[in-house]
């Protein structure tokens, strides 16, 4: 039975707000799978965890990444790891994954720390002057800076990196809107051209990325960053490395996949910590016990268990990737629903993580549900903020360490007083963001 959505659909189109959450009817949070109302192409939203695993593991090659999404990002990142499939993807994954090993993570940790040092200077000034900050903007800048420093050893304030950041904003805004319109109005596999200004922004971003890659490619260059690790990677079968264009594709992915996602999660984490004093007190108590008065170090990470559970719970109720879209390449059946070729299969961490059949007190924000004593409450494969199966996020460990370090350092240093906390609402654009900026004032502790 289709989930009734026509009214919400008209509202979303009318307001041009690009928020997909408004398209979700109430029973999207209750069914195993259901059709998502009216659109030119059929869209099945799938919650049932074993079907979610079957689709994301995709052993039979029926459910590749969705053509709408791959079309939207192709001018920016080509046929790179985030969107490719089959043998192309397998080769890329083999070559990219080692750059995110624990060894590289420890090196990345000091680059993350340096990015926070810079932000602390700006935040101290805001605290001293009483100026408001927008938590989203602070997080967006900080996580973009972390990506630039860990991937290219260049701070974001460096002119080229800042240009990449600005052009990415143009791309993201337009891509979210174009994607929503296509989702609703376009038939499957239709090739729809992007706006010229977006293509121009993509071209500029690629040129900038090239400028940052080139010093790494020069003979004798010795950077200890993610770009160098990806440049050094060789395909075990052919012995070949990535070409310059392929490097731009792959390194562009890290910027695309790795900064707004982390910024989204951190924005919610700071918002929740600021509005739940009892949880904030536990986080701070743990940091004091584990780190004392000294700096927060890489070796402290495994022992910040409450902070980790708090962040896990943020990713459950506010998963940055709201929807993980796939397309059916052949007629098939999912949870009793028959799909034609070209049907869109929408796996939504947003609905799955809030589904009352798979979570005890699904709507309650409760970091302690992640303690080992309560492991029995969990439903297998119902928690997928980083995806599932072979295409699980390659940067998941990186994102966990980055978030823990940023939260520990900033929550220890400042009180955040969020203004109009009651009016903060989630919206799904490219990531799950607050519908309006979350404004706050800061006080040094
Ligand atoms: C909280 C932060 C993050 C979240 C929630 C997140 C979430 C995800 C999800 C859900 C996927 C799977 C998408 C799909 O199956 O269609 C994914 C893939 C990916 N992510 Fe992340 N991500 C985060 C941070 C990062 C970071 C920091 C990086 C790199 C610096 C990164 C790089 C990637 C890449 C390269 C892929 C594609 C992997 C593949 O297809 O083999 N992500 N991410």
| pLDDT number for residue 398 | 97
**Cβ–ligand 1 contact at 142 (below 6 Å):** no
Give the separation between CA 267 and CA 438, rounded to whole angstroms.
8
Pinpoint the alpha helices (H) of 276-415: 277-291, 305-317, 349-352, 396-413
Length of the chain (residues): 445
Give the separation between CA 136 and CA 382, rounded to whole angstroms.
28
Ligand 1 atom closest to Cα of residue 250: 35
CA of 385 to the centre of ligand 1 (A): 9
Ligand 1 atom closest to Cα of residue 326: 16
**Cβ–ligand 1 contact at 230 (below 6 Å):** no
Q: What is the dihedral of CA 392, 397, 401, 404, to 10 degrees?
A: 50
Each residue's pLDDT expressed in tens, for the chain with a length of 445 residues = 445 455 555 555 555 455 678 778 888 999 999 998 756 778 899 999 999 999 999 988 999 998 888 888 888 999 999 999 999 999 999 999 999 988 789 999 999 999 999 999 999 999 999 999 999 999 999 999 999 999 999 898 777 778 888 888 888 777 766 666 666 667 777 776 778 888 898 999 899 899 999 999 987 778 889 999 999 999 988 999 999 999 999 999 998 899 999 999 999 999 999 999 999 999 999 999 999 999 999 999 999 999 999 999 999 999 999 999 999 999 999 999 999 999 999 999 999 999 999 999 999 999 999 999 999 999 999 999 999 999 999 999 999 999 999 999 999 999 999 999 999 999 887 789 898 899 999 999 9
**Cβ–ligand 1 contact at 326 (below 6 Å):** no
**Cβ–ligand 1 contact at 350 (below 6 Å):** no
**CATH at 359:** 1.10.630.10
Pinpoint the alpha helices (H) of 191-259: 196-217, 226-232, 244-258
Q: Specify if 275 maps to a domain.
A: yes
CA of 387 to the centre of ligand 1 (A): 8
**Cβ–ligand 1 contact at 252 (below 6 Å):** no
**Cβ–ligand 1 contact at 80 (below 6 Å):** no
Residue with tokens 């079968």: 237
Ligand 1 atom closest to Cα of residue 83: 40
Pinpoint the alpha helices (H) of 61-152: 67-77, 86-96, 102-129, 135-152
Beta carbons of 49 and 351 less than 8 angstroms apart? no
Question: pTM for the complete prediction?
Answer: 0.94
**Domain span at 105:** 6-444
Ligand 1, atom 26, lies closest to the CA of 258
Q: Specify if 172 maps to a domain.
A: yes
**Cβ–ligand 1 contact at 316 (below 6 Å):** no
Give the separation between CA 45 and CA 4, rounded to whole angstroms.
13
Beta carbons of 93 and 85 less than 8 angstroms apart? no
b/e sequence 68-93, b meaning 16+ C-beta within 10 Å: bbbbbbebbbbebbbbbbeeebebbe
As a whole number of Å, the CA-based R_g of the chain is 22
What's the half-sphere exposure (Cβ side, CA atoms, 13 Å) at 156?
24
Helix, strand, coil shares, percent, the chain, to 5: 60, 10, 35
**Cβ–ligand 1 contact at 432 (below 6 Å):** no
Give the separation between CA 257 and CA 393, rounded to whole angstroms.
9
Question: Could you give the C-alpha distances from 352 to 132, 317, 378, 385, 432, in angstroms and in order?
Answer: 35, 10, 13, 10, 14
Q: What is the DSSP letter of 420?
A: T
| pLDDT number for residue 263 | 95
Domains in the chain: how many in total?
1
| pLDDT number for residue 1 | 44
Q: Specify if 1 maps to a domain.
A: no
Give the separation between CA 32 and CA 346, rounded to whole angstroms.
12
**Cβ–ligand 1 contact at 269 (below 6 Å):** no
Residue with tokens 């600021």: 274
**Residue 15: which residues within 8 A CB-CB, separation 6 or more?**
none
Q: Which residues pair with 426 in a beta bridge?
A: 434
């Amino acid at each position: 039975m289709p989930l009734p959505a026509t009214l919400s659909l008209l509202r979303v189109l009318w307001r041009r707000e690009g928020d997909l959450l408004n398209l979700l009817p109430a029973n999207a949070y209750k069914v195993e799978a259901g059709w998502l109302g009216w659109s030119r192409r059929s869209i099945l939203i799938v919650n049932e965890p074993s079907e979610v695993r079957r689709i994301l593991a995709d052993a039979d090659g029926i459910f590749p990444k969705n053509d709408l999404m791959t079309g939207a990002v192709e001018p920016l990142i080509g046929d790179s790891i985030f969107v490719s499939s089959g043998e192309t993807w397998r080769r890329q994954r083999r070559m990219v994954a080692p750059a995110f090993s624990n060894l590289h993570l420890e090196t990345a940790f000091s680059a993350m720390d340096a990015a926070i040092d810079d932000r602390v200077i700006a935040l101290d000034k805001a605290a001293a002057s009483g100026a408001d900050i927008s938590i989203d903007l602070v997080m967006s800048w900080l996580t973009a800076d972390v990506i630039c420093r860990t991937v290219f050893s260049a701070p974001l304030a460096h002119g080229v990196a800042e240009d990449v950041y600005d052009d990415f904003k143009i791309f993201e805004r337009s891509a979210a809107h174009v994607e929503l319109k296509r989702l609703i109005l376009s038939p499957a596999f239709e090739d729809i051209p992007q706006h010229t200004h977006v293509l121009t922004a993509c071209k500029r971003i690629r040129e900038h990325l090239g400028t940052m890659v080139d010093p790494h490619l020069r003979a004798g260059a010795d950077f200890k960053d993610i770009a160098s690790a990806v440049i050094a990677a060789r395909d075990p079968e052919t012995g070949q490395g990535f070409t310059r264009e392929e490097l731009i594709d792959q390194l562009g992915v890290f910027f695309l996949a790795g900064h707004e996602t982390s910024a989204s999660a951190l924005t919610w984490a700071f918002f929740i910590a600021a509005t739940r004093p009892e949880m904030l007190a536990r986080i701070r108590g743990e940091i004091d016990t584990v780190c004392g008065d000294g700096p927060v170090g890489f070796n402290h990470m495994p022992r910040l268990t409450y902070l980790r559970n708090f962040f896990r719970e943020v990713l459950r109720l506010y998963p940055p990737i709201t929807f993980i879209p796939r397309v059916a390449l052949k007629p098939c059946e999912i949870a009793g629903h028959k799909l034609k070729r070209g049907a869109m299969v929408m796996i939504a961490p947003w609905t799955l993580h809030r589904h009352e059949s798979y979570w005890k007190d699904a709507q309650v924000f409760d970091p302690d549900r992640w303690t080992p004593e309560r492991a029995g409450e969990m439903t297998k494969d119902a928690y997928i903020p980083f995806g599932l199966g072979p295409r699980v996020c390659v940067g998941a460990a990186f994102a966990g360490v980055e978030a823990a370090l940023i939260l520990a350092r900033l929550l220890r240093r400042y009180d955040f007083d969020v203004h109009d906390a009651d009016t903060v609402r989630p919206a799904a654009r490219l990531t799950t963001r607050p519908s309006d900026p979350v404004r706050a004032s800061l006080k040094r502790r």
